[in-house]
Chain A
Amino acid sequence: MQYLVSVIDDKGTPGSTDRQPAISAFNDRLIAEGYWVFAGGLADTDAATVVDNRGEQPVFSDGPFVESKEYLAGVWVWEAPDLDVALKLAAEASKACDRKIEVRPFQ
């Protein structure tokens, strides 16, 4: 089963900025053990653009779709046999990133 693993940062109390080596080492392990499907860090929410073309004309607006203190800082997609495996990895991911992690299965 595939899980979307979201890294959640907080503008009020951001995680530390020196995590790249730990994250890289963790990614290497995810790849070696066959869990890794995809990973990517995201640019700041200021860089987001929302597009709404449900009406007659596409409307572009600056900024994220929802303004909040907590925001999505990056994602993984993992392939794991069950939630216990995913949660165990997520606990390690949270340490590696120094941030909160949300685990959510794909349908």
Chain B
Amino acid sequence: MNDVHEAVTRAHHDEWARVVAALTRRFGDLDRAEEAAAEAFATAVERWPADGVPPNPGAWLTTTATRKAIDRIRREDKRDDKHKEALMAHDDSPPEPLGAIDDDRLRLIFTCCHPALGTEARVALTLRMVGGLTVPEIARAFLVQESAMGQRITRAKAKIKATRIPYRVPAAEDLPARVSGVLAVLFLVFNEGYLATGPDTDPVRPGLTAEAIRLTRLIRALLPDDGEVAGLLALMLLTEARRTARVSTRGELIALDEQDRGSWDEVMIAEGHQLVRERLATGVAPGRYQVLAAINAVHTSARDARDTDWSQVLALYDQLVRLDASPIVALNRAIAVAELDGPEVALAAVDHLADKLTDYHAYHATRAALLRRVGRSQESRAAYDRAIELAGNTGEIAYLTRRRDQLG
């Protein structure tokens, strides 16, 4: 009985996106595909305990879902023929030679992350249609009312239908921009799990980080030659590896230099390092995620915080600045500068960013730490106060409060 339960859970994990993607392609309708897929999984829960788990659960689920969808169409057909007009535009040509092993799931991902949809809608739709999370699960993860989250997803599906967002892998010339849109959605999901916001929430939500990693792995399997996909996966793994070391038993965030490095997940670190090495070996100029992954690889290579190769970190930040001239990158670069050239030099660089980052908690937190190091306690305290005011993460607030109170 437990084995069957496990088999259904595993099938849901492994096959949900495939079933939804195949049905969307066949019926040209996300709603219908989602509904039929859910029905097929419900049928599996009912039938597998008695009939046994089928030898190929994915095929069984797709066949069952297809049958459910056809049944429903027949019932609706008797009422009207309207649904036939509402089919999505889709392209029946064979998969383009992208090295893609499963074109339908890629189509599904690109549709859910279409640039014509709002960011929140993209995130919700991707978690529902590709990730297979339920609406209540997604609502909980983003601290949104269930009805509001349901509406967000319904509206997104309606826009896809009404505007004819195509069910298609973008043309080669559009692919890099569209892939980067997909990665942005996954990174957002990951970050929300990694640094959860909201006053009544745990500082870390491992469900979301795990889901983001799972979906990024899926995209990596579908687009194995894309360097930025590999980079994002490496970045997520090297970040996730430090998750348990990052929060104290009292729910306070622990800074990188204070973490117990022995409790980092070595398997994830090894995989992340391997991905970074693979990308370096290609000799292709890295994108933003690859450079971020490389920075994290340097940090996770040091067994002790004091062994960190800061000149390597700074060189990578210099590379990152050329790709992404945002003030947030400049802020993070300043942290490396502080280690190499001292806090005064770093502080000057940080103060330069005042106009652009005045509402960003990390700006004030970084400044507070630098001011403390140069002995300007009073200003440091004021900066901590401002950072605490702006921070949304409960663990981070606890950390900043402790640091402030240590100023004496």
Residues of chain A touching chain B, judged by Cβ–Cβ distance below 8 Å, are: 1, 81-84, 87, 103-105, 107
Contacts and interface: CB of A to CB of B under 8 A. Distances in A.
B72 interface: no
B306 to A, nearest CB: 51
B165 A105 contact: no
Contacts of B115: 87
A84 B163 contact: no
Size category of the binding interface on chain B: 10 to 19
A84 B165 contact: yes
A101 B147 CA distance: 32
Contacts, number: 29
B89 A81 contact: yes
B45 to A, nearest CB: 37
Contacts of A103: 163
A105 B166 contact: no
A84 B170 contact: yes
A81 B91 CA distance: 11
Interface in B149-207: 162-166, 168, 170, 174
B89 A82 contact: yes
B70 interface: no
B345 interface: no
B116 A1 contact: no
A82 B116 CA distance: 12
Contacts of A87: 115-116
A81 B87 CA distance: 12
Nearest to B160: A83
Contacts of B166: 81-84
Given A1-B89, A82-B166, 5 more contacts: A81-B166, A82-B165, A83-B116, A83-B164, A105-B163
A36 B333 CA distance: 51
A85 to B, nearest CB: 8
What does DSSP make chain B's interface, helix, strand, loop or mixed?
loop
B116 A105 contact: no
Best-surrounded residue of B114, B164, B166 (most CB of chain A within 10 A): B164
A104 B162 CA distance: 9
A105 B162 contact: yes
In order of increasing CB-CB distance, the 3 nearest A-B pairs are A82-B89, A82-B166, A82-B164
Contacts of B162: 105, 107
A95 B164 CA distance: 24
Nearest to B115: A87
Contacts of B116: 83, 87
A92 to B, nearest CB: 14
A52 B236 CA distance: 59
Interface string B110-148: 000011100000000000000000000000000000000
A61 to B, nearest CB: 32
A76 to B, nearest CB: 16
Interface string B99-118: 00000000000000011100
Contacts of B174: 84
Nearest to A105: B163
B209 to A, nearest CB: 32
A36 to B, nearest CB: 18
Nearest to A80: B164
A75 to B, nearest CB: 17
Nearest to B88: A82
Contacts of A82: 89, 164-166, 168
A49 to B, nearest CB: 31
A105 to B, nearest CB: 5
A27 B151 CA distance: 39
Contacts of A105: 162-164
A99 B393 CA distance: 40
Contacts of A1: 89, 164
Best-surrounded residue of A81, A84, A107 (most CB of chain B within 10 A): A84
Contacts of A83: 114, 116, 163-166
29 contacts: A1-B89, A1-B164, A81-B89, A81-B164, A81-B166, A82-B89, A82-B164, A82-B165, A82-B166, A82-B168, A83-B114, A83-B116, A83-B163, A83-B164, A83-B165, A83-B166, A84-B165, A84-B166, A84-B168, A84-B170, A84-B174, A87-B115, A87-B116, A103-B163, A104-B163, A105-B162, A105-B163, A105-B164, A107-B162
B172 to A, nearest CB: 14
Contacts of A107: 162
A1 B89 CA distance: 10
A83 B165 CA distance: 5
Nearest to B171: A84
A30 to B, nearest CB: 18
A35 B185 CA distance: 32
